[in-house]
């Protein structure tokens, strides 16, 4: 890989870790690209050959066991470019250093990767009538689990009459997470985001519809890169302006992934993420008399004592229990899915063995 190619890839977020994983493919003459847009299993990607339209190989499709095995926006992929045609064949995905995932919509137990290889996740919440602290807890769980660093961005500050109260609410659930207040309408607070937007850094915007993600990316880019819509009257809920995930290059050299609004954010596997989002409760629980305390009626329960003396809000503890139950339910469904997949695998193996067995 020559110096010019190296610099081009570094501008897209390339680093030594990705280079190490790519080395065996480089020896075989393959190139590499980064996914900027996904649309019906066709992918737009950026590479040393410029922008290409990519499609995965039949082998990759055959070996894929679920959505998570297909490229997502932000992924680095191994390609065979056809520069003259502005096309490429995608052979493999390089290991992800981070991924923001949620459970796919519907009853199917399947992971949906919203963004991959992200350094920082901007969790955007509007300071209007749609402000929801419980929804923020969900985003924090998945952000901590993703492997990226979460940052809370409180948008539409010009619509908030009691900023101090809102900040206290946010800080009570976003333990140790940077919180920035901005107003794109008034161009206020945007300079606070500059430290996260260095050259080659990848930032993903997450939040429900109408919180101002598209407006924010337009302001940070200095141009109208994304279409914006007015929120609904009455409840300040937004319309779905952004309909797909897409990676953009900003003038600062940073890369930003815009995502559609996610009002129904169903949790995916979130062990470390859950502990990170509820570190305050987990820390209090360590002082309970019994290690297996359920925080219900056990004597010497530090959590119940914290609720009684006002150190811990009952609503936050209720949310903790609710999300814990949701993850436990998901784990049971995932386990049943894995058992069914294993049974189906051995059924196919046995069938193949019977077909190969010589007839007497």
Residue with tokens 């407006």: 215
Cα separation of 360 and 357, whole Å? Answer: 9
DSSP-derived letter for residue 188 is B
DSSP-derived letter for residue 161 is S
Q: Is 165 annotated as a binding residue?
A: no
Q: Is 210 annotated as a binding residue?
A: yes
* Spatial contact of 284 and 313, defined as CB atoms under 8 Å apart: no
* Spatial contact of 71 and 90, defined as CB atoms under 8 Å apart: yes
Q: List the beta bridge partners of residue 154.
A: 125, 181
Neighbours of 320 (CB within 10 A): 21
- Cα-based angle 328, 334, 336 (whole degrees, multiple of 5): 110
Q: Is 252 annotated as a binding residue?
A: no
Q: Is 158 annotated as a binding residue?
A: yes
Q: Is 244 annotated as a binding residue?
A: no
Q: Is 295 annotated as a binding residue?
A: yes
DSSP-derived letter for residue 236 is -
Q: Is 301 annotated as a binding residue?
A: yes
Q: Is 147 annotated as a binding residue?
A: no
Within the chain, how many helices (H) and strands (E) appear? 10, 13
Q: Is 33 annotated as a binding residue?
A: no
The sign of the dihedral angle between the CA atoms of 40, 42, 44, 46 is: positive
Q: Is 209 annotated as a binding residue?
A: yes
* CA 70 remoteness from chain centre: 15
Q: Is 155 annotated as a binding residue?
A: yes
Q: Is 336 annotated as a binding residue?
A: no
Q: Which two tokens stand for residue 243?
A: 């309909």
Q: Is 106 annotated as a binding residue?
A: no
- Which residues lie below 8 Å from residue 180, measured CB to CB, with a gap of 6+? 151, 152, 153, 154, 189, 192, 193
Q: Which two tokens stand for residue 139?
A: 């985003």
Could you give the maximum distance between any two Cα atoms of the chain, in Å?
A: 86
Binding site members for Zn(2+): 288, 293, 295, 301
**Annotated binding residues for GTP, as ranges?**
155-158, 207-215
Show binding-site residues: 155-158, 207-215, 288, 293, 295, 301
């Amino acid at each position: 890989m020559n110096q010019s190619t190296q610099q081009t890839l570094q501008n897209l977020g390339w680093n030594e870790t990705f280079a190490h994983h790519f080395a065996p493919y480089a020896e075989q003459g393959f190139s590499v690209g980064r996914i900027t847009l996904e649309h019906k299993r066709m992918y737009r990607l950026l590479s040393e050959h410029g922008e290409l339209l990519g499609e995965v190989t039949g082998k990759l499709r055959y070996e894929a066991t679920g959505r998570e095995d297909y490229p997502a926006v932000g992924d680095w992929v191994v390609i065979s470019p056809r520069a003259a045609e502005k096309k490429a064949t995608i052979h493999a995905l390089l290991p992800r250093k981070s991924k923001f995932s949620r459970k796919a919509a519907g009853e199917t137990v399947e992971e949906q990767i919203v963004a991959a290889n992200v350094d920082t996740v901007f969790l955007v919440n509007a300071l209007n009538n749609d402000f929801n602290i419980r929804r923020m807890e969900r985003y924090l769980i998945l952000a901590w689990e993703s492997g990226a660093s979460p940052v809370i961005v409180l948008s539409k500050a010009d619509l908030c009459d009691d900023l101090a109260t809102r900040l206290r609410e946010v800080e009570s659930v976003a333990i140790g997470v940077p919180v920035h207040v901005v107003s794109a309408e008034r161009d206020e607070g945007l300079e606070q985001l500059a430290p996260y937007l260095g050259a080659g850094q990848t930032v993903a915007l997450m939040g429900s519809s109408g919180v101002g993600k598209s407006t924010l990316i337009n302001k940070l880019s200095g141009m109208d890169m994304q279409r914006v819509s007015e929120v609904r009257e009455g409840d300040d809920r937004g319309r779905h302006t952004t309909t797909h995930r897409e990676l953009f290059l900003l003038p600062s050299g940073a890369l930003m992934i815009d995502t559609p609004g996610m009002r129904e954010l169903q949790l995916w596997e979130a062990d470390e993420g859950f502990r990170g989002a509820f570190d305050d409760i987990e820390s209090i629980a360590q002082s309970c008399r019994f290690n297996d305390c359920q925080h219900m009626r056990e004597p010497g329960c530090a959590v119940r004592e914290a609720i009684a003396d006002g150190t811990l809000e009952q609503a936050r503890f209720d949310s903790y229990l609710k999300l814990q139950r949701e993850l436990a339910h998901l784990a049971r469904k995932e386990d049943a899915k894995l058992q069914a997949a294993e049974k189906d695998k051995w059924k196919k193996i046995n069938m193949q063995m019977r077909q190969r067995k010589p007839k007497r």
